[in-house]
Amino acid sequence: MLAQKPSLVVRLRTEDDVDACVEILKSVHSLDGYPVEGAAMARAWIASDAADLKAWVAELDGHIVGHAIVSRDQEGNAAADIWRNKHPDKAVAVLQRLFVSPAARKAGVGRKLIATAMSYSVQNDLQLVLNVMVKDTAAIRLYERMGWSCIVSATHHFGERQQMDAVCYAALANPSRNPTPQA
């Protein structure tokens, strides 16, 4: 008998999904140190604020295994500030709070969440940008495989005088050049 391929679905996040996302974030933080800030207040960090445009979860066989948000451009976000200064005529949005359960990695979850966010940005005429810590090499490889372009190196400041090297990326203007999401 042939094994069925797992069912991967990305849908809008609801309030009922936040507890599952908190548990996933705890495991991600424990394994990867992501996020460098916000894990201590995971619920508030995930649920975010009024700047959110859309928030999604990924389900694999009916279980939540990933999360992503697209937020409005906010002053002080390095990638958004760089893009806005060079391209003041284009509205900017930020892909953030993207994480995937360690148990679901290599199943296309991150790719599908990113593709969903990219599609949303294209449909809404938004330039999608993001910041990623240099230490998060797997995330960087995925963004680059999906056609994101590095726009600048930056320093991410957090906590009490803490900082970490980061890079800022922008999604390609032509999403048709991005690989098709795979489940």
Q: Which residue has the tokens 């207040």?
A: 41
What's the pLDDT score for residue 49? Answer: 67
> What average pLDDT score do residues 129-156 get?
92
pLDDT at 83 over 60: yes
What's the pLDDT score for residue 3? Answer: 61
pLDDT at 120 over 70: yes
Beginning with the edge strand found earlier in the chain, give each strand of the sheet holding 63-72 in spatial order. Answer: 8-12, 52-60, 63-72, 92-100, 127-133, 162-170, 149-158
Instruction: Delimit the domains of the chain by residue range.
Output: 8-177
pLDDT per position as a tens digit, 162-182: 788 899 999 985 544 444 333
What's the pLDDT score for residue 171? Answer: 95
Q: Are 97 and 45 in contact (CB under 8 A)?
A: yes
pLDDT per position as a tens digit, 17-72: 999 999 999 999 999 989 888 788 899 889 876 678 999 999 999 999 999 999 98
> What average pLDDT score do residues 108-125 get?
96
Buried-exposed string 3-22: b where 16+ CB fall within 10 A, e elsewhere: eeebebebeebeeebbebbb
* Topology classification of domain 8-177: Aminopeptidase (3.40.630)
Who has greater pLDDT, 106 or 74?
106
